[in-house]
Chains A and B, each alone.
Chain A
Amino acid sequence: MLAWSIYISFAGALIVALLPTGKFALVRWFALAVAAVGLAIDVAGYAAGFAQGPRTLVDAAWIPAMGIHFLLVADGISRVLVLLTGIVAVAGVLFSWNVETRVNHFFAFYLALIGGVYGVFLSADFFLFFVFYEIAIVPKYFLIAIWGSTRREYGAMKLVLYSFVGSSMVLVGLLAAYTSSGSHSTTLVALAHAGLPASFQMWCFPLVFTGFAILAGMWPFHTWAPTGHVAAPTAASMLLAGVVMKLGAYGCLRVAIGLFPLGLAPWGFSIIGLGSWRDVFAWLAVIGIVYGALVALAQTDFKFVIGYSSVIHMGFVLLGLMTLNQIGVDGAVMQMFSHGVIAGLLFAIVGRMVYDRTHTRQLAELELMHLSRRLPFAAWAFVFAGVAAMGMPGFSGFVSELQILVGAWRVNPWWVAIAGIGIVISVAYIWRALQKAFFTDKLPTPEDHPKTGWHSLGAITWPEIAGTVLLGASTLAVGIYPRILLDQIEPAVKALLAGGAQ
C-alpha cells in the first residue's frame, strides 16, 4: 500500500502542472489533498507495520537483461522515514499557502520532489534507489532558484552540484560493486550477499558513504546546507532539512553500511588515533556538531542559525550511525525523524511566520520589532521548537540524542565528551536567537520607527496554525511515548546490523 504514496505524488505533480493557471485556491487545495492522501497512506502503512519485518510492496522485473527490479520494500526504518515525509509534506503545503507566483509550477516541483523522496525510502534495488535519489535533485534547483530569496541562484546551483557530485560518487561505487561482484541482480540483498572482498569494501565504503554524507550535511561538505536552506522558500527549506538530508543519512545506513560492512573494520594501523573509516567519519560527525554550534552562535541572519542547527543535528545522526550498536543506530534513525519535524517547524517559523511578515531576517533588525508582543503565536511556537531542538526531555530530540550518546559512549567516550560541548553550545545559540528575535527588551529609537514600520504584521493564518500543530504534536508524541517509533526501528536495525542489507 505504501507504494501508492509514490505514485500519487508523481501523478499529483503532473496534474498540478496541467491545472489552469491563475486558480490559486484550486491548486493549493489540490496539492494539500495529494499530500494529505499520501500522509494517510503512510499512517495506515505505518500502523499496519507494527510487529512485522520487511514487507515487499512491489516486485517486478524492470530491465531483465541486467537483473534490475522495480522492487519496493518497507521495513521499520523505511516506514518511519516515509511517515516523516508524509508529515513534512503536508506541513510544507500548509506553510506555502501564501505562494502567489507560478503556483502551479511550485506545487508541481514540490510534489515531484516528495515523490522522489518516498521512492528512495522504499527502494530495495540499488538502481531504483539511485533513480529516485537523482529525481529528487532537479526539483530542488527550481524550487530554490525561482521562489527563493537571498542569493537564490547561487544557493540553488551550489546545492544541486553538491548533490550531484555526491550521487556521482555513489554511482561509481555501486557500478564497481555491481560489476566486480558478478551479481546478476541489482537488488540490495543480492549485492549484500555477493561476498564482496574486504579489500574492495575498504575503498568502496568511504566513497559511497561520503557521497551520501554530502547530502546529509557531513562536515566539511556541509556548506551547501546553510546557503541552500537560507535561499530556499519556506516549504523547500522544510523539505530540504526535513527529508532531503535524511536521504543522505538513509543512504549511508542502508547502502553504505548495509552493503559494505567490512569497510568499517579496522585498518590494522592508526594515524593520529584514527584506526578505521568508522573513526574518521565519527570524528567528522563530532567536529560537525561542535563546529555547527559555534558557527550558529555567531550568525546575524536568523535563518542561518536554523541552517546550521541542521548541520548539528545531522552530525548526531552520523555519529549514531558510526556507533554500529543497536542503541546508537536506533537513536540515529529516531534523530532523523526528530530532526525532520523540529527543523521543519523552525524553518516554518523563521521563513513563513517571521520573514514573510517583517521582510527581514537580520537579528539586529528583528530585535527592534518586539515580535513576542506582535506575533505571540510565532514566539511561543519558536520557544516550543527551540526547546525541542535543544533536546529537552519530553521532546523527540531528547530520546534520540540520549540513545546516540549512550551508543557512542560504549564505543569511545571521547566522542561523547566533545559532542557534549556541542550540546551546551546548542542551548546557547538557540537561546540567543530566541532572545534576539522575539524577547528583547531593547526599545526602538525614534529613527528606527519609520524603517521597521509598526504597521500590522497580519494575523497568523489557519494553515500556519494547522502546520505548527501537526509538527509540534509529532515531536511531542515521540518524546512522550518513544516506543511508537522504537517498536518499528528496533527490529529493522537489529536485522540490518546482523546481516547487512536484508
Chain B
Amino acid sequence: MNYADLFRATLPETVLEIAALLVLVVDLGFLRKAALKARIASAVLVGVAGCAVALWLVYAAGWAGFGVGGDQLLAAGGSAAVAQCAILVLTVLTLLLFIGCDFTRHCGEFVAVTLMASAGGLVIAAAQDLLVIFIGLELLSLGLYILTAFAKQSGKSAEAAIKYYLFGGMSAAFLLFGFSYLYGLTGSTNLSKVMLGASLVSARGGAPLLLVAMVMIAAGLGFKVAAVPFHLWAPDTYEGAPAPAAAFIASVSKVASFALLVAIVSAALHAFNSAAAPKFCAAWPLILIILSVASMLLGNLAALAQTSLRRLLAYSAIAHAGYILLGLAFFSWTNLSASAVLYYVITYGLTTIGAFGVVGVVERATGSDKLDAFCGLHKRNPWLAAVLLIFFLSLAGIPPLVGFWAKFNLFAAVLAAGDGPVALALVALAIAFSAVSLYYYLQVLKRAYVLPAVDESPIRAHPVTLVVLVLIAAAVVLLGCFPALLQSWIASFYV
C-alpha cells in the first residue's frame, strides 16, 4: 500500500475537504461581524472554487485509480469519472442556489457540510470495494441528514431529518448485513472478486445466503435511490428540508447512488458472463424489476394526488427512479446501458435542481409550497414561470427538452439489452406511466400559466438565483436539441 498513490487517487475528495475547512475558517474566523449576505457569498465562493479545482483534477488528471495488491479500491475513468464530474457540477449549482436563502445564519457550516457530503458522493462513484462503498455512503448520508435538519426554526425540517435518519440508519444496517454475507460467501471485499465468487457459488447450485444478501443490498441501495418500497422517507424529506438541501438530495445523492448501482451491476455482469450462472442472473434483475415496477406505479399514481409541489417532486423522483432501475435491470455488456443510465440520472438531477430552485423562490415569497401558491406565476415573475415550464415539460419527457431524449435513450438501451417480450412490456408500461405523469406536471403548469393569481404582487428572485435557473433551463433546452453533445462527452470517458 502506497500512501502517496492513495493521496493522488483521492485528491479531488481531499480538495473538497480542504475547501470545507477553509469555508469554516473564513466564515467563523474572519467574517464573524460581517453581514449575512457577505458571509453567504464568501462561503459559496470558496465552495465553488473548491468544486472547480476538484472538477479540474477529475477531468484533467489521468491516473489509474487506486488498488492494493491487485484489488482495486477506487476506479478511475469510465462511469466513475462521468458521475464524479456530474456530482461536482450539480454541487456547484446547489451552492449557487443557496445564495439568497435565509433559512439559516450558519452559512459556513451549511456549505462545509455540503462539500463533505459531495466528497462522499465522489467516493461512492469510484468505489470498487464493499468497505469503501459503505464508507462513502455513510459520509454522504450523514451530510444529508445534517443538511435536512438545517432550517432550525422549522419543525418540519427537524421531523424530516429524524425520519430520514431513522430510515437511513436502518437501511445502512441492511446493506452492511448483506455485505457481510457476501464477504462470508466469497472471502473478499473487492467488488469484482465478490462477484466472481458469487458466480462460482451459484454455478455450484447456488446458496440461499446469496439470495438473502442480494435482497439486503437491494433494500439498502433502494433506500438511497428512493425506490418503492424503501421510499417512505422521500416525500417527508423533500417537503421538510430547506430547498437547496432538498435539491442536493434529489440530484447529487441520486447521481452517486445510481453510479454505484452501475458499478455493481457492471461487475456482476462481467463475472457472471464468464461463469455462466443463469440463476443469479435471473434473481438480481428480477429484484430490480420488482423495485422498478413498484416505483413507477406508486410514484406516478401518488403524485397525482399531491397538493404540495415538494411532495409532488418527491413522488416524481420515485417514478423516475423506477425508469432508471429498468435500465439497470436490463443491462447490456457494452457501455450502452451504463451511459444511458448516467445520462438519465445526470440530466434528471440538473432539471430537478432547477425545479427546486423555483420552488425555493416561490416559497420564500408566498410562504407555501402548495400548488396553489403557483397560481398566476407568469404574471408575478415571467422568467420564473418560463423556466418552470421548461423544467416540468422536460421532467414529463416532452421534446425537444433533454428529458425526452434521456427517456428515449434509456428505453432504447433497455430494448437493446433485453431482447424479448418482457423488456418490451416493461418499456411499454414505463411509457404509459410517462403519459400519466404529464397530467400532474401539467397541473403545476396550469397554475403557473392558466389560473388567475390570488395575489398579483411580483415575486422577486435573487439575481444570482435567476441567472442560475435560466442557465439550467438553457442547458435543458440545448442538451435536448443537441443530445449528441452530452452523449459524446460521456462516451469520451469510456475509451
Chain A interface (Cβ < 8 Å from any Cβ of B)? 62-66, 105, 127, 130-131, 134-135, 137-138, 141-142, 145-146, 153, 157, 160-161, 164-165, 168, 171-172, 175-176, 178-180
Contacts and interface: CB of A to CB of B under 8 A. Distances in A.
Interface string B402-443: 001000110110011001000010011001101100110010
Contact of B484 (A62, A134, A168): A62
Given A65-B491, A138-B398, A175-B411, A157 B442 contact: yes
Interface string B392-408: 01000011100010001
B450 interface: yes
A161 B440 CA distance: 11
Contact of B412 (A66, A137, A164): A66
Interface in B276-308: none
B427 A161 contact: no
A164 B424 CA distance: 19
B12 interface: no
Contacts of B446: 145, 153
B487 interface: yes
A153 B393 contact: no
B488 interface: yes
B412 A178 contact: yes
A165 B408 CA distance: 16
A200 to B, nearest CB: 11
A167 B213 CA distance: 41
Main SS class of interface, B: helix
Contacts of B428: 172
Interface string B34-49: 0000000000000000
B483 interface: yes
A382 to B, nearest CB: 31
Nearest to A109: B449
Leading 9 A-B pairs by shortest Cβ distance? A179-B415, A131-B399, A145-B450, A172-B428, A168-B431, A164-B435, A168-B435, A63-B484, A165-B435
A180 to B, nearest CB: 8
A261 B430 CA distance: 27
A134 B399 contact: yes
Most buried by A among B412, B424, B442, B491: B442
24 contacts: A63-B487, A64-B484, A65-B487, A105-B449, A130-B399, A134-B398, A135-B399, A142-B449, A142-B450, A157-B439, A157-B442, A160-B438, A161-B438, A164-B435, A165-B435, A168-B431, A168-B432, A172-B427, A172-B428, A175-B408, A175-B411, A175-B412, A176-B415, A180-B419
Contacts of A105: 378, 449
Contacts, number: 73
Instruction: Indicate the size class of the contact surface on chain B.
Output: 20 to 34
A171 B450 CA distance: 29
B431 A171 contact: yes
Contacts of A176: 415, 424
Contacts of A171: 408, 431
A179 to B, nearest CB: 4
A165 B433 CA distance: 9
Nearest to A147: B450
Contacts of A134: 398-399, 404
Contacts of B449: 105, 142, 145-146
A135 B400 contact: yes
Contacts of A141: 442
B437 to A, nearest CB: 10
Interface string B150-161: 000000000000
B120 to A, nearest CB: 32
B347 to A, nearest CB: 14
A164 B450 contact: no
A146 B389 CA distance: 15
A172 B399 contact: no
Given A65-B488, A131-B400, A135-B398, 5 more contacts: A63-B483, A63-B484, A164-B435, A165-B432, A168-B431
A168 B434 contact: yes
Contacts of B450: 142, 145-146, 153
Contacts of A168: 431-432, 434-435
A228 B161 CA distance: 46
Nearest to B431: A168
